[in-house]
C-alpha cells in the first residue's frame, strides 16, 4: 500500500493596518509674470505673428529683453485684443511669442501671462500613526 502524504493545514486572518493622524503642509509659491505688447505690421509674416521679447513691457511698463521660459509646472495664457486664445495657437520661447495666425490687426494688444508653480513643496509635518496588523493563525 502506498504511503499517504500528510500536509499541515493552516489558515490565517489579518487586519489591515490603519493610519491615523498626521499632517501635510503644502506651500504654493507661484511666480506669475505678465507682459503686454502691441502688434506691429512687421510682426505679421509667414502665416504667423511673431512678437519678439523686446516688443513686450512688464507689469511696471519697463522694456524687457527676455521672456520667461515655458514652465514645466505651470501654464501660460495669451490674450489678443482682450480675448484669451487657445493654448495650441501659441509657442513661447525666451526670445519671442509666436501666435499661429495672421488674423491679428495691427495695433491689437497682446497680453502674456506666465504662471510657474515649480516652487510648490509638500512636507509631512506630523507623521501618521500606523497600527500593527493583528494576525490570527488557526491550526
pTM: 0.71
Higher-confidence residue of 111 and 135: namely 111
Can you give the residue ranges of every domain in the chain?
Answer: 25-122
C-alpha cell at 25: 503642509
Let me know: does 129 contact 23? Beta carbons within 8 Å.
no
For residue range 12-59, list pLDDT tens digits in order.
888 888 888 888 899 999 999 999 999 999 999 999 999 999 999 999
Query: What is the full DSSP assignment across 47-79?
Result: TEEEEEGGG-EETTS-B-S-PPPPPTTEEEEEE
Positive or negative, the Cα torsion across 103, 106, 108, 111? positive
The mean pLDDT of the chain is 91
Is residue 128's pLDDT more than 80?
yes
Residue pair 111/35 in contact by the 8 Å Cβ criterion? yes
pLDDT classification of 110: cutoffs 50, 70, 90: very high
Amino acid at each position: 500500500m502506498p504511503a499517504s502524504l500528510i500536509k499541515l493545514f493552516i489558515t490565517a486572518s489579518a487586519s489591515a493596518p490603519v493610519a491615523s493622524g498626521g499632517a501635510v503642509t503644502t506651500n504654493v509659491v507661484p511666480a506669475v509674470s505678465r507682459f503686454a505688447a502691441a502688434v506691429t505690421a512687421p510682426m505679421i509674416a509667414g502665416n504667423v505673428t511673431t512678437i519678439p521679447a523686446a516688443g513686450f513691457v512688464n507689469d511696471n511698463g519697463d522694456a524687457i529683453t527676455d521672456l520667461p521660459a515655458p514652465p514645466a509646472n505651470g501654464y501660460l495664457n495669451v490674450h489678443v485684443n482682450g480675448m484669451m486664445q487657445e493654448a495650441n495657437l501659441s509657442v513661447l520661447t525666451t526670445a519671442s511669442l509666436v501666435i499661429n495666425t495672421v488674423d491679428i490687426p495691427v495695433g491689437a494688444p497682446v497680453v502674456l501671462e506666465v504662471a510657474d508653480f515649480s516652487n510648490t513643496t509638500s512636507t509631512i509635518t506630523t507623521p501618521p500613526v500606523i497600527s500593527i496588523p493583528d494576525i490570527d493563525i488557526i491550526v
